């Protein structure tokens, strides 16, 4: 309890402030569902002690990492000046780069994406994130097909489209032997 008589809740916020924050968060989520943007109450901003940014929505995870994964490792290592092991951990999202390294990797990814788009005669957008999104939206390679029936294989590690085709191929190999 504070000297003013308020009961303290989590993270040092008074319960009244928590109730106001919950009400604002509820109003915010409803407004987002309606494509509106509510104004946050000025008094509540002072009560917020921490901000949480979801790492899953980080542009490094959504756009930069996948572009770097498609880039030749030798070129990436040469241009970035970052240790090869560190690059692999950053691309695999097991490590978060320092601020300067993050900026450098972002610029390298944007440059690579622009070069690739221009080599395919596609105009690169002005925005860096739009450029990375356009690069990731490109079709890559030819789709793999089942050697038995010729249908496209959807699973990444699969050779055959179904168990039936796999068994049929196994039986045909057994007959040949």
141: helix, strand or coil: coil
pLDDT, tens digit, for every residue of 90-141? Answer: 888 899 999 999 999 999 999 999 999 998 888 888 888 888 888 888 877 6
Cβ atoms within 10 Å of 17's Cβ, excluding its own: 19
**pLDDT for the residue 80:** 92
Q: How is the chain split into domains, by residue range?
A: 1-52, 55-136, 143-177
Locate 78 and state its tokens: 């040469």
Threshold 0.75, pTM exceeds: no
Burial of 68 (0-12, 13-18, 19+ CB in 10 A): buried
Distance CA 60, CA 55 (A): 9
């Amino acid at each position: 309890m504070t000297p003013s008589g308020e009961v303290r809740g989590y993270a040092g916020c008074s319960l009244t402030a928590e109730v106001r924050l919950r009400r604002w968060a509820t109003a915010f989520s409803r407004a987002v569902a309606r494509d509106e943007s509510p104004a946050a109450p000025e008094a509540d901003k002072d009560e917020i002690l921490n901000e949480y940014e979801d790492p899953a929505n980080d542009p490094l995870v959504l756009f930069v990492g996948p572009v770097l994964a498609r880039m030749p490792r030798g070129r990436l290592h040469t241009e970035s000046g970052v240790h090869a092991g560190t690059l692999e951990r950053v691309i695999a999202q097991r490590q978060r780069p320092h601020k300067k390294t993050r900026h450098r990797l972002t610029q390298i990814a944007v440059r690579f994406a622009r070069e690739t788009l221009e080599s395919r005669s596609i105009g690169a957008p002005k925005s860096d994130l739009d450029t990375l999104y356009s690069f990731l939206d490109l079709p890559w390679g030819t789709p793999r097909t089942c050697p038995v029936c010729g249908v496209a294989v959807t699973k990444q590690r699969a050779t055959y489209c179904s168990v039936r085709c796999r068994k049929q191929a196994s039986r045909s190999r057994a007959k040949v032997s």
